[in-house]
Amino acid sequence: MSLASGLHALFAPMRQRAIMAISAYRVRARHSTLNAHATSIWDYGFHDLDAIELGKDVTVGPHAVILVYHRSPFSDVPGRLIVGDRSSIGVGSNVRAAGGTIRIGAGTGIAQYNVLVAANHVLRPGEPRFHVRWDESRSGIEIGNNVWIGAGCVILPGTVIGDDAVIAAGSVVRGNVPSGELWGGVPARKIKAVGEERAE
């Protein structure tokens, strides 16, 4: 190993940690009521800070990854993250707001280890699966106010979840979830209205 490659191996991780710390600091400085754990990762372009809009008293748990890129080489749809007041993003969750807007309403809880993806790859026979254009016909995620998303869910591009809805743990959600309904499963389907007894 040459001296140059040895120095690179030594300093590259330090540089990456410094960039991550500065990125997190910039988000916290702009949103003074943000309660983000020190291990949460904020991955965004240096000029994309304006694409992150957080309401008051938003909480982001340990090891959550928040990725926001306003511009992407894979899509002409701008990426944004908009989170309402008193909402939370749980431990280990992965929020990927590139190629579309992810909007999370006020008082909404995203439990631990959830994945929210604003855009997905276009799938065509014989084409590579990565480094290709994203599907611009179905992008972004809209989550209403006072929604609860249980642990380990995947929320796919184009999903709209209405106010007061509940998503059961481990669900994969695509499409429209009406307000006030409990959905669950893979793919997620209506289980019942919130508060009503489930028909057996």
Per residue in 163-179, pLDDT (tens digit) is 999 999 999 999 999 99
The active-site residue, picked from 31, 63, 70, 121, is 121
Residue with the larger pLDDT of the pair 72 and 109: 109
pLDDT, tens digit, 9 for 90 and up, residues 5-37: 777 777 777 888 888 889 999 999 999 999 999
Residue with the larger pLDDT of the pair 12 and 150: 150
Give the largest CA-CA distance in the chain.
70
For range 41-51, the mean pLDDT: 93
For range 26-51, the mean pLDDT: 94
Asked about 121 being catalytic, the answer comes back as: yes
| CA pair distance 84, 144, nearest whole angstrom | 9
Confidence of residue 57 (pLDDT cuts 50, 70, 90): very high
The answer, yes or no, to whether residue 200 has pLDDT greater than 60, is no
- pLDDT value at position 127? 78
For range 56-83, the mean pLDDT: 96
- pLDDT value at position 198? 60
| CA pair distance 75, 138, nearest whole angstrom | 12
| CA pair distance 180, 167, nearest whole angstrom | 11
Q: What residue spans of the chain are helical by DSSP H?
A: 3-30
pTM of the model: 0.89
Q: In what order do the strands lie in the sheet with 65-69?
A: 41-44, 65-69, 94-98, 115-117, 154-155, 172-173
Task: Identify the residue whose tokens are 């009521």.
Answer: 33
Domains in the chain and their CATH numbers?
3-193 (2.160.10.10)
The answer, yes or no, to whether residue 199 has pLDDT greater than 60, is no
For range 85-100, the mean pLDDT: 97
Q: What percent of the chain has pLDDT over 90?
A: 75
